[in-house]
Amino acid sequence: MSLTDSDVTHLLLALVVLLAAAHALGWLVARVHQPRVAGEILGGLLLGPTVLGMLPGWSATIFQGGDATAAGLGIAYQLGLFLLMYCAGAELRSILARRERRATVIIALISNAVPFLGGLAFLKVYDTDRFLGPARNETAFLLVFSLAMAVTSIPVISRIMADLGILGTRFARIVLSVAVLEDLLVYMVLNLALALVTPLATEAFSLPAILGIQPTSALGNAYHVALTLLFLVLPTLIGPGVVQRLTTARARSPHRASLIAVQMGVMLGLTALAAFLGVSPIFGALVAGVLAGDLRGDAEHARQTIQSFAYAVFIPLYFAIVGLRLDLVRHFEPLFFLVFLALACVVKSASSYAAARIVGEDKRGAWNLAVALNARGGPGIVLASVAFDARIISEVFYTILVMVALITSVLAGSWLEAVLMRGRGLLSDDRQASAATPPSGRQPGRHT
């Protein structure tokens, strides 16, 4: 398929404007020590129907250049999402290698189960039918709603703690290890929700369709749970270092394939395999990132190159397009947003606090853990965008979930910085570590 000059002009103009807005607003919010992702989404928000989109002819001129522009932005959006999951997976590998086992398991179980059950209980007493998407699947909506109550962001909170100079502390290890387990559970349940709204007829090129497995049947539910678990343990089944060996073998071949190309091929291949098997494609990208977490030497430098380019181009575009889709004028309910924000924060923080006290943390440390684990960031936004694309939730609820993810991330960063600026440790045994690297010396960073 070839594009006309007009198609190319519209598409490139839209990409340039989105990328410029994402980087400009991202840099601005990072200067005031807030998550860069908030600025990237804000950049898209300003360009969308909430602000500039209200000007006559603006959207038609920039973002509505026909099918070619829509397809191009869709590809950029999907690649940004896949690369975000790939980079998150690489972080998971390094975090999992140094987890605090007892505290991690107890806090993860309680701080994930209680908010999830709280979401289920809320739906029993409050009518949320208006937030259902076109799929009109109440079970899938129930799962997404409850996941939104429980999710914690690994990339956001890890970057916040890196900028504060506390990434090597016990506090950071506990928070990140808990977030790893929580996010893995989130993606597993999300995949089940997606399977419930996948029409068999529209997914002819997939294993479930070939086998005639109905997504909403008991067999279909068991199939998707089993396949999701299989993908979850895939890095363990094939063993560590498999991507390292693959890249080394290719690098020594007569044609000396690019290490970057090999790693991108692995990511795209696993993503395609996941989609074919009926697992959410984002799970394939996540697993590819986990496998890449073992890379060393030149292969590791190649992975870092992929990550740098992703964070420079495709991931900002993804978040900017997320913001572009928000309409705070016509598709937003401020009152329910405040109710959901308060409910999510109270239930998540209270359960995390209680779990921290159970494992022996003092009151100050338990509160700090509770606030940090309340940051929803990137995974919260991924949950919202994937559920919206799957027609599980309405545009109004999509907007609410994105705004909750942003605000909880900002609150977590501000709280932790304020605690450290008072010269107090986040946990009783982290006092010396945090005192050695005061937050006044932090540099603005990428809080994805």
Characterize 311-344 residue by residue with b for buried, 16 or more Cβ atoms within 10 angstroms of its Cβ, and e for exposed. bebbbbbbbbbbbbbbbeeebbeeebbeebbebb
Place of tokens 């979930």: 401
pTM, entire model: 0.80
Closest to 138 (Cα-Cα) out of 147, 146, 151, 129: 129
Name the residue ranges covered by the structural domains of the chain. Answer: 92-302+332-441
- Dihedral angle over CA of 231, 153, 356, 347, nearest 10: -100
Look at the domain 92-302+332-441 and name its fold: Na+/H+ antiporter like fold (1.20.1530)
Residuewise pLDDT in 10s, the chain (448 residues): 577 778 888 889 889 999 999 999 989 988 887 778 888 889 999 998 888 877 777 776 777 767 778 888 889 999 998 998 888 777 666 555 455 677 788 888 899 899 999 999 999 999 889 999 999 999 999 999 999 998 887 666 766 776 666 766 778 778 877 877 777 777 778 878 887 886 644 456 778 777 777 766 777 777 877 877 787 777 666 665 677 776 666 555 444 457 888 889 989 998 998 888 877 788 788 888 888 877 788 888 888 899 899 989 999 999 899 888 888 888 899 999 999 999 999 999 999 999 999 988 888 889 999 998 998 877 788 889 889 988 999 999 999 999 998 899 888 888 888 888 887 777 766 554 444 444 444 443 444 5
Q: What pLDDT, on the 0 to 100 scale, is given for residue 435?
A: 43
What DSSP element (H or E) covers 211? helix 207-211
Q: What is the chain's alpha carbon radius of gyration, rounded to the nearest angstrom?
A: 22
Please report the beta strands in 175-224, taking only residues with DSSP state E, as ranges in sequence order: none
Give the CA count within 13 Å in the CB-facing half-sphere of 164: 34
- Indicate the burial class of 268 (C-beta count within 10 angstroms; 0-12, 13-18, 19 or more): middle
Pull the structure tokens for residue 247: 């890249």
Q: Work out the end-to-end distance of the chain between its first and last CA atoms, rounded to an integer number of angstroms.
A: 35
pLDDT in tens, 58-108: 776 777 767 778 888 889 999 998 998 888 777 666 555 455 677 788 888
Contact 279, 207 (CB under 8 A): no
The C-alpha atoms of residue 337 and residue 116 are separated, in whole angstroms, by 18
- Note the pLDDT of residue 361: 87
Query: Rounded CA gap, 109 and 114, in Å?
Result: 8
